Structure 1
Amino acid sequence: MSGGSPPAIELRGVSRWYGNVVAVNDVSFEVGPGVTGLLGPNGAGKSTILHMAAGFLRPSAGDVRILGEPAWRNPGIYRRLGLVPEREAVYGFLTGREFVELAARLHRLPDPAAAAERAIALVDMDAAAGRPCGTYSKGMKQRIKIAAALVHDPQVLILDEPFNGADPRQRLHLMDLFRRMAAEGRAILYSSHILEEVERLADTVLVIVAGRLAASGDYRQIRALMTDRPHAFTVRSSDDRALAARLLAEPAIRGVAFDDGRLEVRADGLLAAARALPAAARAAGVTLYEVRPTDESLESVFAYLVRR
């Protein structure tokens, strides 16, 4: 970090297990100013990592620090840390304004009401702030949780699936807010299992699979690894057998097979397949009806990264 200042969030050799179940396995990374996306399929260990970073869980092994200070049993870090948990953590009987003002009072801010109003305006909840939280939609509850996390103007923000339930307009508003905060020098770490969310917001990506750090770095580099991996497709055409015979002459095609009457094609990568399939169809005089990826789940994508 510049000037010798410690990382905003630092994990060193961190593991967390529950009995014989290993939820997080020897994970190390640093997070500095900007937006960092923690990307991985559901159950990969993202929430466990965030809970340890926020000081809610003690690592079974390793060290977790926020701004150079231990995260575990250190309430002082919350003066500079904001947390938005994935679970619904609002009091339904309080209005949105009362909920955010309660957070301001817990932080012992000098003017809780004014701080609450500022935070509510940041997430565009002014019009609904007087309503009980129990009447909010899931997206509105997410935004009021974010307001409560921002009320003390933290330097570090940790968010667990912050866009769950938000409609497209709300997502764009929150993404713009996080970009502005990052531009002001704050460090934001948020989790998602949706590739497009990370693509649109994060500067840096940490890919978590089965509790391990599978890849990290610039999003474009990670995306290239995912795009260039071997792909499998189901293809329908006017003559599948003629197409299969011609595909075998294409260097980018690794193999073809018929599974229950369907033509299965394996190619070196998505772009390679996009070039090879139409070329083979033209050469064989065949019409393509459908080309459908059969291995596009996040789990399969991330598993490929782990094997690299």
Structure 2
Amino acid sequence: MTAPTTAPPPGPASTAMVEVEACSRWFGDVVAVSEVSFTLQAGVTALLGPNGAGKSTLLRLLCGLVAPARGTVRVLGRDPRRDIEVHRDLGLVPQQETVFDRLTALELVETCALLRGVADPRDAAAAALAAVELDPGDRRHLPTYSRGMRQRVKVAQAIVHDPAVLVLDEPLTGLDPRQRRHMTDLFHHLGDRGRCVVVSSHVLEEVERFGSDVLVIVQGRLAAEGDYRAIRDLMDDRPHRIRIRTDRPHEVAGRLLAAGTVLGLEVTGPDAVVVETDRVHDLRRTVAVVARDAEAHLWEVAPLDDDLDSVFRYLVGR
């Protein structure tokens, strides 16, 4: 899989490529984004939030399609609303879909390449379509394409000029499972090549495939950012639930209670105990000693709520 290479690579990975500082945007009485701040470097970052949380507005702010009411947005050190040149290094896959009735996929992507000043727009368009597994020689007009094919055309036009920053709003909508896997691999390929890739989604399974770097937006505010496993570790007011599988669950449960490392527990089967604790590291040390003293075989110690689904439900419900 090869993405087009028409633009020079961006700067070092340690350099902030996207900077948002105290950014707010409202429409009438509706606050879409409120006091959001973050910085992004090269790699893939997932923007996660329920429908209506403000994800699309935030992405539009990054692309200069709307101006912040307060705060600042910088892409590659420039204001995307005022500096039109930054759009040569910026690619957008919008959530909305509009196709040109009389154009083929190649003609549309070639036109986008031409508008962005690509030296050889026809070859770049063919390469971009191939990168999303579409045939550049297909002479059908765009309205005859399936929804998933049109979605891939949108991705092709966004990468045709090899932008340093790629913004994708729900890009996997309409794709089948194999295409989703391919597209996710493409995003990671671009991130590994030093591009800053921002992907929005409200589907938890998709976000987990994009990677662990997550921005969680809830009701227009940034609820959390970073590795979602680290986010879970910072939820000190919510006990962790851990399943322990052993051949002597009652003996292990009793000894864990006596050790004082759990807040509560339940024997859930002939070989399983589920415990709640706010002392995860102490529990992991203690459970091995407890199993030894109980002459029990210890088969599994596994978290039940360290996944993205648990983190997301917690943040939305706070």
Instruction: Among all aligned residue pairs of Structure 1 and Structure 2, give the percentage whose two residues are the same amino acid.
Output: 50
Q: What is the match of residue 201 of structure 1? A: 210
SS at match of 1:69: coil
1:303 correspondence with 2:312: no
| Cα displacement string for residues 257-308 of structure 1 (whole angstroms, at most 9, x for unaligned residues) | xxxxxxxxxx889x9xxxxxxxxxxxxxxxxxxxxxxxx799743324xx4x
Q: What is the match of residue 144 of structure 1? A: 153
SS at match of 1:220: helix
Cα distance in 2 for residues equivalent to 1:92 and 1:253: 62
Q: What is the match of residue 83 of structure 1? A: 92
- Calculate the aligned-residue CA RMSD, in Å: 3.4
**Which of 68, 71, 78 is equivalent to 1:62?**
71
Q: What is the match of residue 124 of structure 1? A: 133
Change (3 A) 1:186 1:154: same
SS at match of 1:171: helix
Change (3 A) 1:54 1:129: farther
Cα distance in 2 for residues equivalent to 1:32 and 1:4: 6
Gaps of 5+ in 2: 1-9, 241-256, 266-275, 281-308
TM-score, normalised to structure 1, is 0.74
CA shift, 1:110, in A, is 2.1
CA shift, 1:53, in A, is 0.3
Tell whether the 8 Å contact from 1:6 to 1:68 is kept in structure 2 after alignment. Answer: no
1:202-217 maps to which residues of 2 (within 5 A)? 202-217=211-226
SS at match of 2:230: helix
Tell whether the 8 Å contact from 2:232 to 2:311 is kept in structure 1 after alignment. Answer: no
Aligned residue identity for 1:61: R
Tell whether the 8 Å contact from 1:96 to 1:133 is kept in structure 2 after alignment. Answer: yes
| Cα displacement string for residues 214-235 of structure 1 (whole angstroms, at most 9, x for unaligned residues) | 0001132235668x9579xxxx
Cα distance in 2 for residues equivalent to 1:115 and 1:158: 19
CA shift, 1:108, in A, is 2.4
Moved more, 189-198 or 3-12: 3-12
Q: What is the match of residue 170 of structure 1? A: 179
Change (3 A) 1:3 1:83: closer
Cα distance in 1 for residues equivalent to 2:13 and 2:109: 35
| Cα displacement string for residues 106-146 of structure 1 (whole angstroms, at most 9, x for unaligned residues) | 11222111110011111001177422110111111111000
SS at match of 2:32: strand
Moved more, 216-225 or 172-181: 216-225
Change (3 A) 1:229 1:126: farther
SS at match of 1:100: helix
Aligned residue identity for 2:198: L
Q: What is the match of residue 155 of structure 1? A: 164
SS at match of 1:158: strand
Cα distance in 2 for residues equivalent to 1:104 and 1:4: 26
Q: What is the match of residue 235 of structure 1? A: none
1:23 correspondence with 2:32: yes
1:1-308 maps to which residues of 2 (within 5 A)? 6-126=15-135, 129-222=138-231, 229=238, 300-304=313-317, 307=318
Change (3 A) 1:104 1:2: closer
SS at match of 1:154: coil
| Cα displacement string for residues 192-230 of structure 1 (whole angstroms, at most 9, x for unaligned residues) | 10111111112411000000000001132235668x957
TM-score, normalised to structure 2, is 0.72
Tell whether the 8 Å contact from 1:34 to 1:185 is kept in structure 2 after alignment. Answer: yes
Gaps of 5+ in 1: 232-248, 255-266, 272-295
4+ residue runs over 6 A deviation: 1-5, 296-299
Change (3 A) 1:127 1:268: farther
